[in-house]
Structure 1
Amino acid sequence: MTAFMPLTLRFSDNKTMLVGSVAEAEKALRQQWPDKAKPAYSDAARLIGLAIDGSCCPRIAFEAFTKAARQQGILVAKPRSRAHDWLDAAANP
């Protein structure tokens, strides 16, 4: 089981990876990103390293990782499931 909702990433070399933990995020950071010099990537790499060392909250690090992936356009968008629609309809009669 993953610690976070899994993200699907598609890297510059067209490889995909499912990331749902800080350890998997660390592996993903070593893949081919469009621009590893961007500040969001650097922040994510720093925070993921700190989370692995135990000196940073994993959630904060994973959110920074997600932000970097979104900014670089490698986050693969997933369509909402029909269950979300059913829950929305039940909550708003």
Structure 2
Amino acid sequence: MTAFMPITLRFCDNKTMLVGSVADAQTALQRQWPDKTAPAYIEAARLVRLAVEGNCCPRTAFEAFSKAARRQGILMVKSKSRAYDWLDAAASP
């Protein structure tokens, strides 16, 4: 079981990785990113390192990681499952 809702990244070498925890994010940060000097990447790497050490909230680190991936265009967006539509319809009055 993952700590967060997993996200899929496609790196510059066209390899993909499913990331669902801060430990996974730490591994993913070592892969091929478009720009490892970008401020969002540097901040995400710092927060992920702090979270692994226990000095930062894992949720904050994972959100920063997701934001960096989105900004660099490596976050793969999946279409919403039809089950969500059914749940939305059942929940509406």
TM-score bracket, normalised by the shorter chain, equals: over 0.9
Counterpart residue type for residue 63 of structure 2: E
C-alpha distance in structure 2 between counterparts of 1:84 and 1:58, whole Å: 27
**2:9 aligned with 1:9, yes or no?**
yes
Please name the residue that 1:81 is paired with. 81
C-alpha distance in structure 2 between counterparts of 1:92 and 1:56, whole Å: 38
Aligned residue pair count: 93
Under a length normalisation based on structure 2, what TM-score does the superposition of the two structures give? Answer: 0.98
- Secondary structure of the residue that 2:17 maps to in structure 1? strand
Query: What percent identity do the matched residue pairs reach?
Result: 73
The runs of at least 4 consecutive aligned structure 1 residues that moved more than 6 Å come to none
- Secondary structure of the residue that 1:8 maps to in structure 2? strand
Under a length normalisation based on structure 1, what TM-score does the superposition of the two structures give? Answer: 0.98
C-alpha distance in structure 1 between counterparts of 2:91 and 2:22, whole Å: 33
C-alpha distance in structure 2 between counterparts of 1:75 and 1:65, whole Å: 10
Please name the residue that 1:32 is paired with. 32
Mark the runs of 5 or more structure 1 residues left unpaired by the alignment: none
Please name the residue that 1:65 is paired with. 65
Q: Displacement, 1:91?
A: 1.7
C-alpha distance in structure 2 between counterparts of 1:24 and 1:79, whole Å: 23
RMSD of aligned residue pairs (Cα, Å): 0.6
Q: Displacement, 1:39?
A: 0.4
